[in-house]
A and B are shown apart, each in its own frame.
Chain A
Amino acid sequence: MTTTEIQTRERLTPGPASSSVLWEYAPSLESTDHVKLASRYNLFIGGKFVEPHSKKWFESINPATEERLAEVAEADAHDVDRAVSEARRAYEKVWRKIAPSERAKYIYRIARLIQEKARALAVVETLDGGKPIKESRDVDVPLAAAHFFYYAGWADKLEYAFPNRTVSPVGVAGQIIPWNFPLLMAAWKIAPALAAGNTVVLKPAETTSVTAMLLAEIIQEADLPPGVVNIITGAGATGAALVSHDDVDKIAFTGSTDVGKRIQRTLAGTKKKLTLELGGKAPNIVFEDAPLDQAVEGIINGIYFNQGHVCCAGSRLFVQESVAEAVIRKLRERVQTLRVGNPLDKNTDVGAINSKAQLEKIRELVESGVDEGAEIFQSSCALPQRGFWFAPTFFTGVSASYRIAQEEIFGPVLSVLTFRTPEEAIEKANNTPYGLSAGVWTEKGSRILNMVSKLRAGVIWANTYNKFDPTSPFGGYKESGFGREGGLHGLAPYVVLS
C-alpha cells in the first residue's frame, strides 16, 4: 500500500481564515462592580471589629497592578492577648458547653454564606492574591465552602470518629495561615477546630488578609457566639506573639519550613499541641507507559497551578528516559499556550506572583539554575508592565545537586530530571528533606501500588495532580511537617482523647 503525497489543493474558501493567524481572545473580565471593599479593615475580636492597639494599619496591594486594595490593621502583642482572652472566655462559657448539633448549625451557616457570597469572595481573592479568577471561582471558594460543610457534619458525631474514646476539645487554637490559598486555608483551619468544640484565633498572611476579613464579616453575619472565631492581621511579629502566648492550647501553622522550625523551637517544653504543614519539593514521576498527553496536562497543572505557589506543587519532574524527549517536546508546546496576564480575565491560566519579595526569590533561584548549568525554557508570553510577573519556566539537564532541584521555589518553575528504572525513580524522588506530595503517571495499576507504598510523601496522586477534597487527609513527612488536615484525620489535632 502506498500513501500518495499530501494533496495540495488550492485553498477552498475565501473565508476569514488564513493559515497561521493568531486568534486573539478579546478580554473577558470578571466584573468587580458588585464588590464593595472597605478602605480599612480592623481586627475581628470578640465578635466585633476593633481598632488595633498599635493604631497602625498597613496596605494590602493587588500584585497584578501594585495598586492599593485596602488597609489592614497591624495587631501587636496587646491585641493578640485580647483575642486569646476572648477566645478563652468564649470557649469556657459557650462553645465547649453548647450541644454539638448546635455547633454544627453555625458551621453549616458559615458554609452557606460562603456559597451565597462566592462571586465576591472569588473576585477579592483574585484582586488580593493575583491568582486567576477561574481558580478562585472554581477551586478556592467552592472548596472553602465544602470544608465547612464537611466538618459541620462531624460536629455531633465525634464519638463515631474516635470509637470507644471520650472526645473533648483542646481549647483555644492559634492558627497561622499562608498567602497562597488565603480563604481556603482559613477554612481548613477553622472548620475542624470549631466542629471539635475549640475556639480560634486566626492570623492570615500579611499580603493576603482581605478575604479573611470578609470571612470575619460572614462569621458575624452567621451570628456565631462572640469570641469563638477571632481574626487578627499582621506580619511575623503578630504570629510570633500568638505562638508564644501562654493561654493558647494548640498551634496550627501552614507556611515555610524555616518558620515552622522556629515555631517548633518556641513550643519545645510547653504543653501546647502543634501541627505543621510546611514546604515541599514534590516529585512528579512519568513512566514510559503513561498516557503522555494527559501526563503533560498533569505536569502543567502540577507546577503552574496558582503560579506554582502551592506547597504540594510537582516541582521536580522525573521522566523515564525512553519518553523524555517526547514529554519535553510536548511540555514546551503546552507551556507556550498558557495564557499569562490579568488575573480577572476568565481566560487567564497563570496570574501574578503574590508579592515583590516572592518574585525576587523566584528570580534568584532561577538565576542559580542558569549559573549551575541547567538549560532554561521560558514561555515567550508578554508580561504586563506593572505588577509582579514571572513567565512559566522549566529547566532541563538538571542534576540532583542543583539548588533548583533541592530548594522549594514556590513559583512557576519546574526542574526536569530523568530516570531509567522504577527503583531509580523511587530513590531520586525520596532523596529530599521534604515529603509532602508526589505524582505517579503510568497505565499499569500494579506499578502505581508499588510506587505508592515506597514513596515517602503524605499525599500521592496517581494519573492526576493537585486534587483536593475535604474528605481526604493532607499533610507531610519529614520537613514537610506533621499532623493531617482534612478528612477524619483532620479532627485528631483538635481533640483530646481519653
Chain B
Amino acid sequence: MSESLITPPAGSFAPALLRRSLADALEMDHGVDAVAAEERANSLAKRSLKKDSKVWGLRLAISMMDLTTLEGKDTRGKVHALCQKAMRPDPSDPTIPHVGAVCVYPTMVPFVRQALKGSGVHIASVATGFPSGQTFTSIKVQETRDTVAAGADEIDMVIDRGAFLSGNYQKVFDEIAEIKEACGPAHLKVILETGELANYDQVRRASLIAMFAGADFIKTSTGKVAVNATLPVTLVMLEAIRDFHHATGKKIGMKPAGGIATAKLALSYLVMLYETMGPDWMNPDLFRFGASSLLNDVLMQLRKERTGAYQSGDYFTLD
C-alpha cells in the first residue's frame, strides 16, 4: 500500500499525504455482488416512516434538493421562476427550508446568481460538455473556469465514459483532477452516468477513481439517459464513499439524480443514507437530490401531515 493512503490525523492535512493516484483508487476496488446489493437496497426501501420522523425526513429532503432545469429551451424567465421556488418552496409555510441549490446550464448562471442573491441557496451548474462529455479536455477546462467565473459555486461535471469503458482509467482520473483544479473554490460533483456503466463493479470503480481524483461529491446521472439514479446504484456508491472515508478521513458527498419524483422514494434514499453512512451524512453538505418534479410531491406530503388532508396539485405552483 502506498504511503498516500495512510490516514492523516484529523485536522492536520499534510499536502504530501494527500497526493493520490489512480493506483490508490484501483487498490480499493473489488467486485460487487449484484443480487445481494439489490436485496439490501430493497430491504431498506421497506422501512416505514410515519409522523414526526416522516416530516423530519421530508424537510431535510427539501434542504438537500438541487432544483434542476437542464433544457435547451431554458430562459431567463424560466430560471427566475425556479429560483423563487428554490428560496420559498411553499409560500404558505415559511418554516419550510430553502432548497440546497439551483442547478442550470452555464449560460443561465448569471441570472440565477442575480435571483438568488443573499438567499443562501447555492448555484450549481453542469459543465464539461454535459451530458455526453464528448469534447476536448481543453474546452471542458475552459467551460469550468468560465462557469465558476460567472458565479457558480458548485460544478457538476461528467466523466469521460468512452475512456472509462475502454479501460483508459488514467484519462478519466486526470481529467477529473484537471477540472477540480479549474474549479478553484467551487465544489466539484462528478457525474458517473451509472446508466451507461453496465454493472455495479464499474460503478464502484468509477466512484473510487472520482474520489481519489478530487471529487467533493459523486453523482449518479445526468438525467439524460434511459436509466438514471436507482437505490442499488446509490448504495454501491455510498459504500465506496464509506471505504474512502475510512482510508483517507475525507467525507465525500453523494447525489442521486434523475427519476426521483416522489416523497416516498426520497425518504427511501434518506433511510439508505442514514443506515449506511450514519448521522454525519444527514445534511445538505454531504447529500443532494438532483430533481425537478420531486419538490411539489414533498410539499404535498408535508401539507398533508400539517392539515391532515391531501390537496390537489393546483395548490402547488408549477415553476
- List chain B positions with a Cβ less than 8 A from chain A: 13, 15, 18-21, 30-33, 35-37, 39-40, 46-54, 56-57, 59-60, 62-64, 97-98, 100, 120, 122, 174, 177-178, 180-181, 185, 187, 213-214, 216, 239, 246, 250-251, 270, 274-275, 278-280, 282-285
Q: Contact flags (1/0) for A1-15 with B, using CB distance below 8 Å?
A: 111111101011111
Nearest-Cβ distance from residue A347 to partner chain B, whole angstroms: 5
A122 to chain B, nearest CB (A): 14
A333: B residues at CB distance < 8 A: 278
Expressed in whole angstroms, the Cα–Cα distance for A5 and B10 within the complex equals: 12
Contacts of A266 in B (CB 8 A): none
Q: Which partner residue on chain B sits nearest A338 by CB separation?
A: B275
Closest chain B residue, CB of each to CB of A297: B40
Q: Could you tell me the distance in whole angstroms from the C-beta of B56 to the nearest C-beta in chain A?
A: 6
Q: Are A298 and B18 in contact (CB under 8 A)?
A: no
Give A394-418 as 1s and 0s: 1 = Cβ < 8 Å from B's Cβ atoms. 0000000000000000000000000
Is A289 positioned at the interface, with any CB of B under 8 Å from its CB? yes
Within 8 A of B (CB), among A447-495: 463-464
**C-alpha gap A13/B285 in the complex (Å):** 9
**Does A17 contact B54, Cβ atoms closer than 8 Å?**
no
Return chain B residues, CB-CB under 8 Å to A337: 275
- Do residues B239 and A293 form an inter-chain contact, with CB atoms below 8 A? yes
Q: How far is the CB of A305 from chain B (nearest CB, A)?
A: 11
What is the CB-to-nearest-CB distance from B48 to chain A, in angstroms, rounded to a whole number?
A: 4
Question: What residues of B have a CB within 8 angstroms of the CB of A433 in the complex?
Answer: none
Give the chain B neighbours of A12 by CB distance below 8 A: 63, 100, 120, 122, 284-285
Q: Is the interface of A mostly helix, strand, loop or mixed?
A: loop
Take A1-B213, A17-B60, A17-B284 as given contacts and tell me if A26 and B18 are in contact as well, using a CB distance cutoff of 8 Å. no
A18 within 8 A of B: yes
- Across the A-B interface, the 7 shortest Cβ-Cβ residue pairs: A15-B63, A294-B36, A15-B97, A28-B48, A1-B177, A294-B33, A443-B31
Residues 64-89 of chain A, each 1 if its beta carbon lies under 8 Å from chain B, else 0: 00000000000000000000000000
User: A residues touching B (Cβ–Cβ < 8 Å)?
Assistant: 1-7, 9, 11-28, 134, 289-295, 297-298, 329, 333, 337, 346-347, 443, 463-464
Most buried by B among A3, A27, A347: A3
Asked if A294 and B37 make an inter-chain contact with CB atoms under 8 angstroms apart, the answer reads yes
Query: Do A13 and B100 have beta carbons less than 8 Å apart?
Result: yes
**Residues of chain A with a CB closer than 8 A to B187's CB:** 7, 9
User: Which one, A3, A7, A290, contacts B18 given CB within 8 A?
Assistant: A3
Cα(A27)–Cα(B185), bound, Å: 44
Q: Which A residues are in CB contact (< 8 Å) with B18?
A: 2-5
A residues near B36, Cβ cutoff 8 Å: 291, 294, 297-298, 463-464
